[in-house]
Amino acid sequence: MKTALLFGSSGLIGGHLLNKLIQNNFYNKIKIFVRAEPEIQDSKIEIIKVDFNNLKNHIEDIKGDDCFFCIGTTKQNSPDKNEYKRIERDMPVEIAQIAKANSVNSFVYVSSGFADPKNSGAYLRYKGEVEEELMELNFTKLGIMRPSFLMGNRKEKRFGEKIGIFLFKLLSPLFLGPLKKMKPIHSEIVANAMIKVANEDIQQSIFESNEIVNLNIN
């Protein structure tokens, strides 16, 4: 039986992931790292309230078998450039470094389609930089998920994203070959794939959106 470490349990993917980890027989403990006490309760769950500005205070808590990282923000929610960088770039790297030092076996990270450390846009650049840092840590097992537009019921409304999803769903039949990775994907499918990567003998580390879908089929 294993211990899962989950960062971002209240988000779109993280919410599905938490429910699936509760149902999964591989795990007898799920540590969720949160700012505020969640409503969900289960005998498997250990709630760890975290000061994300001082992660070094939680080194002893970040111990287990598989670490799942689903935290993300938007420029609307984090208009300060330094805070945005801290959440999108610095936080996942620091958590991964602590997890590696604590001999956590696997790290599964929600990145983004078209992540690129050389991209001019901060969001895709930070995601790409995190990917590079994760690969250098040499986890026994690394899963980098690059979903396209995410479908699901968000707690917050993102009008621009809704328009994007609508247009991309409309154009999906035209997305063939290399363009398959641009098709919108349901957040629950990403959560399924993350658990599968952590528990099966899959040599691949980076999964484009269409490859995440294939993980749910195979």
Select from 96, 31, 42, 97 the least CA-distant residue to 69. Answer: 96
33-91 confidence digits (pLDDT tens): 998 888 888 899 999 999 999 999 999 999 999 999 999 888 888 888 999 999 999 99
What gap in Å lies between CA 191 and CA 189, rounded to an integer? 5
**pLDDT attached to residue 161:** 54
DSSP code at position 87 = I
Instruction: List domains and CATH numbers for the chain.
Output: 2-217 (3.40.50.720)
Residue 166's pLDDT band, with cuts at 50, 70 and 90, is low
What pTM, to 2 d.p., does this model score? Answer: 0.88
117 neighbors 151 (Cβ within 8 angstroms)? no
